[in-house]
Structure 1
Amino acid sequence: MAAVLEGTARALLRRVAIEQAETRMPSLAAMVLREGEPVWFGARGRAEGAAPTTATQYRIGSITKTMVAVLVMRLRDEGLLDLNDPLAKHVAATPVGDVTIAQLLSHTGGLTAEPPGGWWERTPGVEMDALAGALDVQTARHRPGRRFHYSNLGFALLGELVARHRGVGWAEAVRSEILEPLGMRDTTTRPREPYARGYAVHPWADVLLPEPEHDAGAMAPAGQLWSTPADLARWAAFLSGGKEAVLRGATLAEMREPAAVEDGDTWSVGHGLGVQLLRHRGRRLVGHGGSMPGFLAVVWADPADRASVLVMANATSGLRASVATDLLDILDTHEPPLPREWAPSPADADLLETTGPWYWGPAAYLLRLLPGRDVSLAPVGVPGRSSRFAAQADGTWLGLDGYYAGETLRLVRRPDGSPGHLDLNTFVFTREPYDPAAPVPGGVDASGWR
C-alpha cells in the first residue's frame, strides 16, 4: 500500500478515532484510495478481541445492490434485455410486472420499500415463489416513474431476473462475473473468519446486544454480502475507474448519470442505475451505503480523480454519514492532488483546420480537439449549450453530454474541400455570423449587416 504523509495519516486516524469513540462503535475500519490505489488504512475498537485488519469481514448490506446492478447492465450490454422492458417480460407472475428494469434500478418504480411479512433483515428469508406469492396490489405505493422511493423489494426482483437469465443464483453470477475478475476473493454471502460480529449498542449504557445473522433468501440481492476493507477497496476502485472485463466504461458512466434526486431542490443526494450519488464540495461521488442489523458501511468514489473512501462498522446504528466525506476532505487539505501533466496529443491535419470559432447565428462557439479525434463545442465567454462529441467511424461525431447528448454533429465541406459549416441536428454553425454562403435555415437577409 502506498502511504500518505505522516501528518495526513495522523489526521485521518484522529477522525476515525473520534467517530468510534463518540458514536460508540464496537469496531470501525476505514480506507482511503488515490488513483484507484489504497493509500491509508485505519481502524479503532475491537472485533472479537482483535483490532480490525484489512482482512476482517463486515457485512456490507445494500452495497450488494451495486453489484446486482452491474449484472443487470451486463445483461443489457449482451442484448438480453432492454432497460425499458417491463419486469413481466423477464419475471412473470408478479402484480408489479409493468415496472421497467430502469425504474427498478433507480428506485423510481413506486414499489414498497420492504417486502410483506416480518422485518426481513432480522428474520430468515423465504424463496422467490413465496415472496412473489405474497405480493399484492399494495406492493405498488406510487405511480411508476413519479418519484424516488427506495425499494429493497425491487432489488430482490432484479436478483431473480439475473438468476433466470444466467441459469444460476444471483450470488454465483456475482462471484463469477464480478468478484473473481476483480480479485475480490474475500467477499462472500455468509461470514468467514476473521469477521466482526454484529451488535446493537444500548442507547443509554455501554453494553452490547448481539444481532441475528441469516440467509435472506429471495431478499438476499438487497443486502446479503460480507466483505473486507481490502476487497471493498477493489470495488471502490472499480466504481471510480472501471474494468472492461467486468463492464464497459460507457455503461459504467451511464450508471453514474443522475436518474432521481432524493432531497428535492437541494440536489446533494441522488440515484443513478443501482448506485447512489453524492455532491460534496465540488466532488460528484458514486457509491452506496449499507445497513443491516449489527452493521453499517459506506463506499464513495470520485471518477474525476479516482479518490475513494470506505468505512465499515459493526453496530446497528449511530455512525455519522459525514465520516466518509470528512476523510476525503482531510486528504484534500493535507495532500491536495496535483493536476495531471499536460502532454501534446497528435492531431490530424484535416481536423486542425476545423478548430477555432464557429457561429450559431450571431452566437460564437469554440471547437476544440480532444484526444482520439473527439471534439468539444462550447459557447465563448457566456453560458450556453456545451457538449463533447465522440468521433464515429463514418466521420461524424456523436454527442456525449449536455444538450446535444446522442445527437450527430457533421462537418460539411465546400467543393474545394475546406470546412464549410457544421450541421448539428438542424442547427447550422458557420465560420462567420450568418454566413450568406452557408445553408442557414430561413436564409440570410440579402442586404447583409447594417
Structure 2
Amino acid sequence: MSDLLPTTQRTLLARVARAQRDGRVPGLVAGVVRDGGLAWHAGRGALPAGAAPDDVQFRIGSITKTVCAVTVLRLRDEGLLDLDDPLERHLPGTPFGDRTIGQLLSHLAGAGAESPGQWWERTPGGSLAELALSDDDRVLPAARRFHYSNLGFGLLGELVAHRRGADWADVARREVLLPLDMTRTSPRPQAPAAAGHAVHPWAELTLPEPEHDAGVMAPAGQLWCTARDLARLGAFLLGDTGGVLSPATVEEMTLPAGIDAASPSWAAYGLGVQVHRVDGVTLVGHGGSMPGFLAGLWVDREEGTGALALGNTTAGLDSGLGPRLLADLRAAEPRIVDAWAPEPCPIDPALLGPWFWGPSPYALRAVPGGLLHLGGLGRPGRSSRFRPGPDGTWVGLDGYFAGETLRITGDHLRLATFVLTRTPYDPAAPVPGGVAASGWSAETASQHADIESKQSLTAG
C-alpha cells in the first residue's frame, strides 16, 4: 500500500492515464520515489498478463548511461584513473586518445553522436575493432561545446571493460546493480517484459520493433529495467548510494558542466546525468529511448523525491510526464523539512557577518553541515558555499568560487585574487591596487577633475 494520500494518488493516476491515452502508448508504467523506494506506481494499457506493473521490464535506453558513469567513477574513486586523464592512457588505439574521460562523461569530447555503420539502435552490434573508428568520428574539437554522443559512452564502457578485465555488463551487474538490489535489471529482456512497438502516426495501428545485443554500444542504452529497480536508481541519485559510490561523488555527478547555475531555467549535463532547472527547481536524472521504448527518471534532491515513466512505444510518450508527476507531488504533499536546531560554529562568530568586496556588501555566514556561505548582502552577488580545507583554509563547493581557496584573517578575507574587507576599501587592509589617500568624498568626479586642473595651473 502507498503512503500517499488518496487524493494525491488520484491526481497522479489521472495524469498517467492521460499520458497513456494521449500519447497512444500501448503499455505504460509510472511511479514516484519517496523515502528510499517506490512510494506509488500505476500501470495503464496492455501489460504482460498476470504481471505486477512494477515488475515488468522495459528498455530504459540512455538511462543506461547513468549506470555506465557509475562504473567509471568507481574506477576514479579507487585511484585507477583521473577524469583529466586522456582516453589513450586507459583505452589505447582510438581516434579519441587525446580526449579526456571527463569530457566523454559530460559529452564535451566532440565525439560523433552515433557509431559508424548501420544505426546501432536497430541492428546487432559487435566489438570496438569492428566499429573501425576513424578521425571522421571526431566531429568537434574537445571542450568547445556540448554534443550528445552515444559513441562516447560506448568508449567509456570499453574503458571499464579494459581496466576490469571483464565485459562491461558483467562489471555493471557485479559492482552496481546487485549491490543496489536491482536484480530485475539486465542487458536483455527477462520475462515478464514488455514488447516494443512503433505506433502508426495516422492510424491506431502498431508495429513490432527489433531487439538485439548492441555489442560495444550497450553502455549507451541497452539495459532493461522494472519500475521498482528504476526507483532504486532514483533513490541512489537522491543519496542512498548503498556503498556503490560515496554521496560526495554522486553530488559531483549532478553538477552541471558549462552552465551558470544561478540562472532560473537551463538544461545541462553532469557526469552521466542530465540536469534541468525549471522555475527554480533543479531535477537530476536521464531520459531514454530505444526503438519501441521511451523512459525517464527524474529526482528532486531538494525535496527528496523522484518520478519515473516506462512506455513501450518508439514515439509519443510525453517526456515531461516525470517532472509533472513531481510537481503534482510537491503541490499535494510538500516536504516537511527538519526542524532547525543550533549547532557549533565552525569559525569564530566574530568573523561572520558583513564584508565588502570593494564597495559591494557581502555576508559570510555559517550554514548547516559545518559549512560557510559567502553571498551578496541586500543585492545580487557572486555566491558560494565553502567546506573546511587544509591548514585552516576553506574550499569552494559550488557557485562562482567552486574549487577556489578562501583564507580568513581578522581584518580581511582573501579569495583567489580578491580581498574582502570589513569596511569598503579599508586602507588598513591589503587591498589590491591600494586605496586613494584622499579617502571617500562627496565630491563628484568632475569636481575632482576641476581641482586637479586648478592645482596644475597654480603649479605652472
TM > 0.5 between the two? Answer: yes
1:183 offset after TM fit, Å?
1.4
1:140 matched to 2:138: yes
Match 1:168 to one of 166, 169, 188: 166
Partner of 1:362: 359
Match 2:349 to one of 339, 346, 352: 352
Task: Give the 3-state SS of the residue equivalent to 1:394 in structure 2.
Answer: helix
| Alignment CA distance shift 1:44-1:80 (3 Å) | same
Partner of 2:19: 19
Match 1:205 to one of 199, 203, 206: 203
CA contact (8 A) 2:51 2:192 kept: no
| Alignment CA distance shift 1:442-1:108 (3 Å) | closer
CA contact (8 A) 1:36 1:308 kept: no
| Alignment CA distance shift 1:3-1:89 (3 Å) | same
CA contact (8 A) 1:46 1:52 kept: no
1:152 offset after TM fit, Å?
1.2
- Distance in 2, matches of 1:298 and 1:231, equals 13
- Which shifted more, 27-36 or 3-12? 27-36
- Which shifted more, 277-286 or 220-229? 277-286
Fraction of identical pairs, as percent: 55
- Distance in 2, matches of 1:421 and 1:271, equals 37
- Distance in 2, matches of 1:9 and 1:376, equals 39
1:18 offset after TM fit, Å?
0.9
| Alignment CA distance shift 1:246-1:444 (3 Å) | same
1:433 matched to 2:431: no
| Alignment CA distance shift 1:434-1:198 (3 Å) | same
| Alignment CA distance shift 1:382-1:182 (3 Å) | same
CA contact (8 A) 2:264 2:280 kept: no
Normalising to structure 2: TM-score of the pair? 0.89
Q: Tell me, which stretches of 5 or more residues in structure 1 are unaligned? A: 413-418
Task: Give the 3-state SS of the residue equivalent to 2:411 in structure 1.
Answer: strand
1:428 offset after TM fit, Å?
2.5
Q: What whole-Å deviation, never above 9, does each CA across 1:152-173 have from its counterpart, x for those lacking one?
A: 1111111000011111111121
CA contact (8 A) 2:373 2:385 kept: yes
- Distance in 1, matches of 2:96 and 2:412, equals 50
Task: Give the 3-state SS of the residue equivalent to 1:402 in structure 2.
Answer: coil
Match 2:368 to one of 366, 371, 395: 371
| Alignment CA distance shift 1:361-1:282 (3 Å) | closer
| Alignment CA distance shift 1:43-1:389 (3 Å) | same
Amino acid at match of 2:94: T
1:59 matched to 2:59: yes
| Alignment CA distance shift 1:362-1:148 (3 Å) | closer
- Distance in 1, matches of 2:138 and 2:264, equals 27
**Higher-Rg member (1/2):** 2
1:72 matched to 2:35: no
- Distance in 1, matches of 2:414 and 2:187, equals 53
Aligned CA RMSD, in angstroms, stands at 2.2
Task: Give the 3-state SS of the residue equivalent to 1:160 in structure 2.
Answer: helix
- Distance in 2, matches of 1:440 and 1:327, equals 52
Partner of 1:96: 96
1:369 offset after TM fit, Å?
1.0
CA contact (8 A) 2:30 2:307 kept: yes
CA contact (8 A) 1:285 1:302 kept: yes
CA contact (8 A) 2:284 2:298 kept: yes
Task: Give the 3-state SS of the residue equivalent to 1:405 in structure 2.
Answer: coil
Q: Tell me, which stretches of 5 or more residues in structure 2 are unaligned? A: 442-460
Task: Give the 3-state SS of the residue equivalent to 1:433 in structure 2.
Answer: coil
- Which shifted more, 312-321 or 143-152? 143-152
